[in-house]
């Protein structure tokens, strides 16, 4: 993982570089905001440790500029320890906030925690079950590597069932999950399920993915 350390205090950058490289990270140093922006543009940066008190650009403004184009994690590391500064940091797009002086072991733990959380979120956004692949972030569905076009409600309904394989949902439950309101005409669920099956099942008369629990509702078959 490539980590960009942005701080005008060279001793801090040197110390962090040493500690991070011992953990197997690649470290890119930057001593001001413009140098940081240039590094981000030219290198594949995965994580940023950002000081707020820089000689050319305020760290908050720099964080905001980065967030306008990039989504890598940003950990603010600064001598500013007021609650207002922390709140502002999060509002400008920081993922975490540590104050100086800091414990290197805690910093390393926070980097790992943020990275692990984001990786878990990314993994959860993609479901792969049998011939079916659902990418929730991109709102795309594939059956045996062939993309199928679903409406918004069809996609949400399929994703709900697929991420809970084996769990039977009543029509009322599905309606509340998808429409986020009390059920009106639950027969619309049957229509949507029929349309989804036509798009993802080989034989809609003998569906293998979305199964019916007669008298109850629908569930996604455990494959």
∠ at Cα 102 (105, 28), nearest 5°?
A: 75
∠ at Cα 116 (115, 117), nearest 5°?
A: 90
Contact criterion met (CB below 8 Å) for 10 and 30: no
Query: What pLDDT is attached to residue 208?
Result: 93
Contact criterion met (CB below 8 Å) for 22 and 54: no
The CATH number fitting domain 126-220, selected from 1.10.10.10, 1.20.1250.20, 2.60.40.10, 3.30.470.10: 1.10.10.10
- What are the C-alpha distances in Å from 7 to residues 13, 58, 186, 194? 6, 12, 58, 58
> What are the residue ranges spanned by the domains of the chain?
2-123, 126-220
Helix ranges (H only) for 9-52 are: 10-22, 33-42
Query: Which is higher by pLDDT, 125 or 216?
Result: 216
Q: Give the Cα separation of 13 and 31 in Å (integer).
A: 8
Is residue 88 helix, strand or coil?
A: helix
Residues 6+ away with beta carbon under 8 Å from 156: 177, 178
Q: What burial class does residue 7 get, using C-beta atoms within 10 Å of its C-beta: 0-12 exposed, 13-18 middle, 19+ buried? A: buried
Contact criterion met (CB below 8 Å) for 199 and 155: no
Query: What pLDDT is attached to residue 75?
Result: 95
How does pLDDT run across 122-139, given as a tens digit for each residue?
A: 666 788 888 999 998 888
Mean pLDDT of 40-48: 95
Query: What pLDDT is attached to residue 124?
Result: 66
Q: Give the Cα separation of 39 and 9 in Å (integer).
A: 18
State the pTM of this model.
0.59
Q: What's the token pair of residue 216?
A: 């109850």
Is residue 4 helix, strand or coil?
A: strand
The CATH number fitting domain 2-123, selected from 3.40.50.300, 3.40.1440.10, 3.40.50.2300, 3.40.640.10: 3.40.50.2300
The dihedral through the CA atoms of 151, 156, 161, 162 has a sign that is positive
Q: Give the Cα separation of 56 and 37 in Å (integer).
A: 12
How does pLDDT run across 61-98, given as a tens digit for each residue?
A: 999 999 988 989 999 988 877 777 788 888 888 999 99
């Amino acid at each position: 993982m490539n980590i960009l350390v942005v701080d005008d205090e060279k001793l801090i950058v040197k110390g962090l570089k040493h500690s991070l490289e011992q953990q197997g990270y690649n470290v890119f140093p930057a001593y001001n905001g413009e140098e940081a922006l240039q590094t981000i543009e030219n290198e594949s940066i995965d994580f940023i440790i950002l000081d707020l008190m820089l000689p050319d650009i305020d760290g908050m403004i720099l964080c905001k500029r980065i967030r306008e184009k990039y989504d890598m994690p940003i950990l603010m590391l600064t001598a500013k320890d007021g609650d207002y500064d922390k709140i502002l940091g999060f509002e400008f797009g920081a993922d975490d906030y540590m104050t100086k002086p800091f414990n290197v072991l805690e910093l390393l733990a926070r980097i790992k925690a943020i990275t692990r959380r984001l990786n878990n979120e990314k993994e959860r956004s993609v479901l792969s079950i049998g011939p079916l692949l659902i990418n929730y972030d991109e709102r795309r569905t594939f059956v045996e590597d062939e993309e199928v076009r679903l409406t918004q409600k069809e996609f949400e309904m399929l994703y709900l069932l697929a991420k809970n394989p084996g769990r039977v949902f009543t029509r009322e439950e599905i309606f509340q999950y998808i429409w986020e309101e009390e059920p009106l005409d639950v027969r619309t669920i049957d229509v949507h399920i029929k349309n989804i099956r036509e798009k993802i099942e080989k034989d809609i008369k003998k569906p293998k993915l979305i199964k019916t629990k007669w008298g109850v509702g629908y569930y996604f078959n455990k494959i």
